[in-house]
Structures are given as C-alpha cells and as structure tokens.
Amino acid sequence: MLFLAWALLPIPLKKAVRNGFHEFQVPSWEALSWGRDLQNFWAGRANRHSELISQGRDLARLNGAFRLQVMENESLRQELQRMEALLDLPPRPRYRYEVARVTHRQIGTWWHEMVVRKGRDDGITEGNGVVYAGGVVGKVQKVYEGTSIVRLVTSPGFRMPATLHGQTQPLFIQGLQHGSIGKPTGRVRNVPISSNVTPENPGYLVSTSLGQVFPNGLHIGKVEHLEQSSNGLFREGTVQFPSELYNLNEVAILVPLPSTTKTALKRN
C-alpha cells in the first residue's frame, strides 16, 4: 500500500520528500561527525605532554620541509607561467580548494557515496571534483544548502577520463560493483594498444585536465594487467583504487575559478 502511494505520488512531490528526508537526516549525521571530532579532540588532550612536545617537534620539521617545497613550487609555477606565455598556450584550469569534513559514508553494492559538510552556501556545485592528499576521491553528485553528496570514483555509476602516467592519450575509468568489504576496484578502458603493464611494473592512472573537472596528474589508482578489448582497438584492465578512500575524514572540493570556466575549447 505504502509502495503504491509512493509510486502514485507526483514527481515534484517525490523530489521534495526525498530532499526533505536528506535534510532531516543531516543534523544527526552532523551531530555524529561533531561527536567524533570531539572524541578525537579529547583523545588528543589525553596525550602526555612529552608526547605532544615530541609530535609538535616532528610537525615543525615537516612544516619546515613543506614551506621549502611551497617556495620551490612557487618558483616552478612562475617558470611554468613564463613558458606558457612564451608559447602562447591557453590558460590551464584553476581551482579553489574547499576543504570539507566527511560526515557520513554509504558504501553499498550499487553506489559508494559520502556526505561532506560543505554545500551550496560554500559555492559548491554539482559535478565539482573532490580530491584528498592521495589523489582523486570522486565528484559532487548532489548539493544541498550546507552539505553535499560525493560519489566516489569506486562507485559503479561513476566514469571519468584519465591517462596512464607519462602518456597523454585519454582513457576512461569506471567503478565496478562490489560490496563494502574487499578492495575497491574499477575498470579502465580505451587504453592505447601499445601500453604494457605488469604486476612488477604497474601502470599508474592519473587525472587529466582535458575534462575540465580535475587538474592533471592526480593519482587515481593502478592497473597491473591489461587485455585486449572486444573491438580489438584498445586494451582494458582492472583498476585497484587506494583502500583509504573508504576511511577519509577530510576531503577538498575543487571549485573552478570563474575565469577558467569560460576557457574556450582549443580545437585540434
């Protein structure tokens, strides 16, 4: 009876109910997330002073190393800009990184999603790329006022262009169906026939800026074996995604900067 009533409900009403249900759930997820953060805070406070001093020292060293790297990066970036200006290359897409806490995860057979604590109010739009320190996480699937749903790269309904590290020809990655237990895997297709990978010498898949969602070179996963595709034109294989994708607490959403969204396609 309930199913029949739901089936007969007009679509706009269904949509409103679904959104309302999400918004209704959000406070509980957020509360849980804040609770976890608080738990971590108090766990941190329980550390002994000597441990904290030692960790602080390690952190200071790391910070020092990173500061140097930032300076080096800045210098390289300027050099790159100079070269691009010389060669009159079109501007590459630039992004603002909106850091967001993960409040909830839904890792099922049919979809792999996470809810993050940033939404429309923070300038997030559907289709924005989501990354973390280890590479690509996925794309923003749905945006609400203060939260967003991110579809993970491992999700069966997810597809994105990529390249093999060191190559330029675009191929694509698609998530595969699997449960929440076990390693996340996907399928890489349209790999150039000349590409060769082995378990000893795996191919690393990285993002490409051609799709205008991600910058170049972000790690996605690795492929250890390639076989010929059914049409004989390409090779394809199984991608192994990093397993920490299911345990992330914090991600960054790539919000394209306005000037780059208008970048015209450079036609070949």
Partner 1 sequence: MSAVKKDPSFIWRIATLTGICGIFFTILFACLGLRQFVERKEYREKEERQTKRRILQPAPRGEIHDRDGRLLVGNQSRHSAVIYLEQIRKEFRSQYLEDVRDIRALREPIRKGMTHAQVKEHLGLFDRHHEDESSVTLTYNKYLKVVFENSVVARTSVSSSDLQWEARLKVVRRYLEQVNKIIGRSETISRKKFERHFNRKLLLPFTLVPKLTAEEYARLLDQLPLDSPVQIFTDSTRFYPYHSAASHTLGYVVFSEVDDEAEEIEGHNLKTFRLKGKQGKTGLELSFNDQLDGTPGGEIWRVDPMGFQFELEKKQLPTFGQSMQTSLDIDLQMLAEEQITHKKAAVVALDVKTGEVLALASKPDYNLNDLTPYISTKVYRRIESEGGWLPRATQGLYPPGSTFKILTTIAAMRQGQVHNETDFECKGVELIGINREEFRCHNPRGHLAIKIQRALALSCNTYFYHYGVRTGIDHISTEARRFGLHTSTGIELPHETRRMLIPDKEWKKVRIGEPWRPGDTANSAIGQGYILVTPLQMACFTASVARGETLTKPTILRVPDTQRSNINHGGEPIGLSKEQTQQIFQGMEKAVQFGTAQLCKIPGIRIAAKTGTAQVKDSDRNSPTFGQKLTLAWFIGFAPVEKPSIAIAICVEGTDPNDNYQGGTTAAPIARNLFWTYFAKKSQQQLTQTP
Q: Which residues bind partner 1 (CB under 8 A)?
A: 127, 157-161, 168-170, 172, 174, 190, 208, 210-213, 230-234, 264-268
- Judged by CB, which is closer to partner 1: 146, or 211? 211
SS3 call for 243: helix
Of 73, 158, 118, whose CA–CA distance to 254 is shortest? 118
Positive or negative torsion for Cα 132, 137, 143, 149: negative
The residue type of 225 is H
Whether the CB-CB separation of 139 and 151 falls below 8 Å is answered with yes
**Could you give the maximum distance between any two Cα atoms of the chain, in Å?**
69
Interatomic CA distance for residues 208 and 254, integer angstroms:
14
Query: At 119, phi and psi to the nearest 5?
Result: -145, -150
Q: CA Rg, the chain, in Å?
A: 22
- Judged by CB, which is closer to partner 1: 36, or 165? 165
Q: For the chain, report the end-to-end CA distance as a whole number of angstroms.
A: 58
Which structure tokens are listed for 221? 């996963």
- Determine whether 36 is exposed, middle or buried from the number of CB atoms within 10 Å of its CB (0-12, 13-18, 19+): middle
Interatomic CA distance for residues 140 and 129, integer angstroms:
6
